[in-house]
Chain A
């Protein structure tokens, strides 16, 4: 584990080295989680572990963590022990660069890599009950931690790719993410407050879905909302966006499992 100070300096260096963006980025001290815009009741739903529907998936994930899997007969616990200790901070620093893939991978992909290579088990599809349960369980171990993208120079290219996608107009509505989420956050669209779109609680229990879902599911909803053809689940374009979004949210607190309208 890198000492915090070195990490902070590295992140600052990365930020300073970043290319200037086309639109005005939200100043770091003006960033806010969509949690702040929720009604009192929805905030309570998130805050209370005995009533947060995301906790059902966390419990499923806890069970999966100890379940032997695949030809290896090993469970996650067999190598990683108690998730509370071994997984603390992990979700806060994903996506991270993976040497085998030679590009960043997100938490879902990293779990699948472990299943495939280490457990010799079949992988889980995006939005499957098992994948949501495991990512919810693992990410919850970072609840309360600041989002901390690794100070890895190899990520810089992908942060830029994600940033370019964020600022790219797309779809029949010909809007970019930045136009709503950088330029018009806090204003209203169809009665809802436009959030700044930080991935502070994924996988989230979205009331619209009445189930848990990943950041990619949410990104697909956005693209469909713009009347753009969404990429397939697992597309590198999504992971690039995840890299950028986590960088954009650096320092904000992880809330998984969050509730969102």
Chain B
């Protein structure tokens, strides 16, 4: 089942402008340090990596660890160079993969 994502990219920007991109994704980020109600350890299940590309070129990447809170919220900046597509990809434990994208018009 797809993880819900919430992306905030300004739809328009001036060439050379530095813009902030905000991303939010639904994910439990189970640390692997918790136990259930009969003492059995709950296995780790986290997002381990997040990559953003801008018209195919990587502009930001991050390795995430258990210390990132559930429903990871990540913001970063990039220079608005040209119109096109910002693509986001999250990967994690148990083969987790989620992609999203947003368009930007740069003039």
| Interface set of A (CB-CB < 8 Å, partner B) | 50-51, 53, 55-57, 59-60, 210-211
Q: In the complex, what residues of B have CB within 8 A of residue A55's CB?
A: 6, 24
Structural contact, B69 and A50, CB atoms closer than 8 A: no
Kindly list chain A residues whose C-beta atoms are within 8 Å of the C-beta of B29. Answer: 210
CA distance A55 to B70 in the complex (A): 14
A210–B71 CB distance below 8 A = yes
Is the C-beta of B4 less than 8 angstroms from some C-beta in chain A? yes
B70–A56 touching, CB < 8 Å: no
Give per-residue flags for B5-17: 1 if the beta carbon is below 8 A from chain A beta carbons, else 0.
Answer: 1101000000000
Please list the 6 inter-chain residue pairs (A to B) with the smallest Cβ-Cβ separation, ordered nearest first: A210-B70, A50-B8, A53-B71, A56-B26, A56-B4, A50-B22
State which of B4, B8, B28, B69 has its C-beta within 8 Å of the C-beta of A59.
B4
Closest to B8 in A: A50
Chain B interface residue count: which class? Answer: 10 to 19
Q: How far is it, in angstroms, between the C-alpha of A57 and the C-alpha of B28 when the chains are bound? A: 13
Q: Is the pair A210, B4 in contact by a Cβ cutoff of 8 Å?
A: no
Whose C-beta in chain B lies nearest to the C-beta of A205? B71
Contacts of B22 in A (CB 8 A): 50-51
Are B73 and A51 in contact, CB atoms less than 8 angstroms apart?
yes
Whether B4 and A53, one on each chain, are in contact in the complex, defined by CB atoms closer than 8 angstroms, is no
Whether the Cβ atoms of B6 and A59 lie closer than 8 Å is yes
A56–B24 CB distance below 8 A:
yes
How far is A211 from B30 in the complex, measured between Cα atoms in Å? 12
Q: Which of the residues A56, A57, A210 comes within 8 Å of B69, measured between beta carbons? A: A210
Interface residues in B62-96 by Cβ distance below 8 A to A read: 69-71, 73
Q: Would you give 14 A-B contacts (Cβ < 8 Å), ordered by A?
A: A51-B73, A53-B24, A53-B70, A53-B73, A56-B4, A56-B25, A56-B71, A57-B4, A59-B4, A60-B4, A60-B26, A210-B29, A210-B69, A210-B70
List residues of chain B with CB within 8 A of the CB of A53: 24, 70-71, 73
For A60, list chain B residues within 8 Å (CB): 4, 26
Q: Give B4's nearest chain A residue, CB to CB.
A: A56
Residues in A neighbouring B28, C-beta threshold 8 A = 210-211
Residue of B nearest to A53 (CB): B71
Q: Measured between alpha carbons, how far is A53 from B22 in the docked complex, in Å? A: 12
Instruction: Note all chain B residues with C-beta closer than 8 A to A50.
Output: 6, 8, 22, 24
Q: Separation in Å of the B45 CB from the closest CB of chain A?
A: 13
> CA of A93 to CA of B4 in the docked complex: distance in angstroms?
29
Distance, CA A59 to CA B71, complexed state (A): 14
